[in-house]
């Protein structure tokens, strides 16, 4: 299975890359769980 990767990373600052990684972890945490959209958005907003 291929993994989708962002091709715009080269234009991001180091701080932005850290934020992207935090959000990816949140997405992975809630992936496939019913009713998880709002909790995931709340957690991403606080990240």
Q: Are 26 and 39 in contact (CB under 8 A)?
A: no
Look up residue 12 and give its DSSP letter.
S
Q: How confident is the model at residue 43 (pLDDT cuts 50, 70, 90)?
A: very high
pLDDT (tens digit per residue) in 14-42 = 778 889 899 999 999 999 999 999 999 99
Asked if pLDDT for residue 4 goes beyond 80, the answer is no
**pTM of the model as a whole:** 0.67
Q: Are 26 and 43 in contact (CB under 8 A)?
A: yes
Tell me the mean pLDDT in the region 4-11: 63
């Amino acid at each position: 299975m291929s993994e989708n990767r962002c091709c715009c990373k080269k234009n991001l600052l180091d701080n932005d890359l850290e934020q992207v990684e935090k959000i990816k972890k949140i997405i992975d945490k809630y992936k496939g769980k019913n009713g998880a959209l709002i909790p995931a958005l709340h957690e991403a907003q606080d990240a």
